[in-house]
Amino acid sequence: MKSVAFHNLGCKVNSYELDAMQQYFHKNGYSIVDFAQKADIYVVNTCTVTNIADRKSRQMIHKAKALNPDAVVVAVGCYVQTHQGEVEKDESIDLAIGNNKKKDIVQLVEEFLSDRAGKGKTLGGASIPDLDKDPVYEEIKLEQTAEHTRAYIKIQDGCNQFCSYCAIPYARGRVRSREPENIIEEAKTMVSRGYKEIVITGIHISSYGLDFDGTSYNSAFATGSELAREFQHAGHFLGVIRKLNEIEGLERIRLGSFEPRIITEGFAKELAACKKVCPHFHLSLQSGSDSVLERMNRRYTCEDFRRGVEVLRSCFDRPAITTDLIAGFPGETEEEFEETLSFVESIGFYETHIFPFSRRKGTVADRLPGQLTEKQKKERCAALAKLHDKQSEAYRRDFLGSGQPVLFERIKEIGEKQYLTGHTPNYMEVAIPSSREELIGQIRTVKLLDFLEKEVLLGEFAE
Nearest to 215 by CA among 227, 240, 233, 203: 233
Q: pLDDT per residue over 223-274, tens digit each?
A: 444 444 444 456 789 999 999 999 999 999 999 998 888 898 989 999 999 9
Q: Up-side HSE of residue 272: CA atoms within 13 Å toward CB?
A: 16
Residue type, 230: E
Q: What is the pLDDT of residue 225?
A: 41
Query: What CATH code would you report for 3-114?
Result: 3.40.50.12160
CATH of 150-397, one of 3.30.1240.10, 3.40.50.1820, 3.80.30.20, 3.40.50.2300: 3.80.30.20
Which DSSP letter does residue 246 get?
T
Q: What is the pLDDT of residue 186?
A: 96
Topology given in CATH for the domain delimited by 403-461: OB fold (Dihydrolipoamide Acetyltransferase, E2P) (2.40.50)
Sheet holding 320-327, edge to edge: 257-258, 280-283, 320-327, 351-356
Q: Which helix or strand (DSSP H or E) is residue 201 part of? A: strand 197-202
Give yes or no for a contact between 404 and 280, defined as CB atoms under 8 angstroms apart.
no
Residue 137, phi then psi, degrees to nearest 5: -65, 130
Residue type, 422: G
Q: Widest CA span of the chain, in angstroms?
A: 68
Q: Where in the chain is the domain with CATH 2.40.50?
A: 403-461
What CA–CA distance (Å, rounded) separates 159 from 204? 6
Give yes or no for a contact between 391 and 349, defined as CB atoms under 8 angstroms apart.
yes
Sheet holding 197-202, edge to edge: 176-177, 150-157, 197-202, 252-255
What CA–CA distance (Å, rounded) separates 157 from 154? 8
Q: Where in the chain is the domain with CATH 3.80.30.20?
A: 150-397
State how far Cα 158 lies from the chain centre: 13
Q: 10-residue block means of pLDDT along the chain (463 residues)?
A: 95 94 95 95 95 94 96 95 92 93 93 71 71 82 81 95 94 94 96 95 92 67 48 74 96 93 90 97 97 96 96 97 98 98 98 95 94 97 98 98 97 93 98 94 97 96 83
Nearest to 43 by CA among 12, 28, 27, 65: 65
What CA–CA distance (Å, rounded) separates 231 from 159? 20
Q: Up-side HSE of residue 166: CA atoms within 13 Å toward CB?
A: 20
Q: Up-side HSE of residue 255: CA atoms within 13 Å toward CB?
A: 32
Q: What is the pLDDT of residue 26?
A: 94
The DSSP secondary structure of 63-111, one letter per residue, reads HHHHH-TTSEEEEEEHHHHH-HHHHHH-TT-SEEE-TT-GGGHHHHHHH
Angle (CA) 168-170-174 rounded to 5° is 85
Q: Where in the chain is the domain with CATH 3.40.50.12160?
A: 3-114
Cα dihedral 253, 323, 423, 194 in deg (nearest 10):
30
Q: What is the pLDDT of residue 119?
A: 55
Q: What is the pLDDT of residue 54?
A: 94
Q: pLDDT per residue over 5-49, tens digit each?
A: 999 999 999 999 999 999 999 999 999 999 999 999 999 999 999
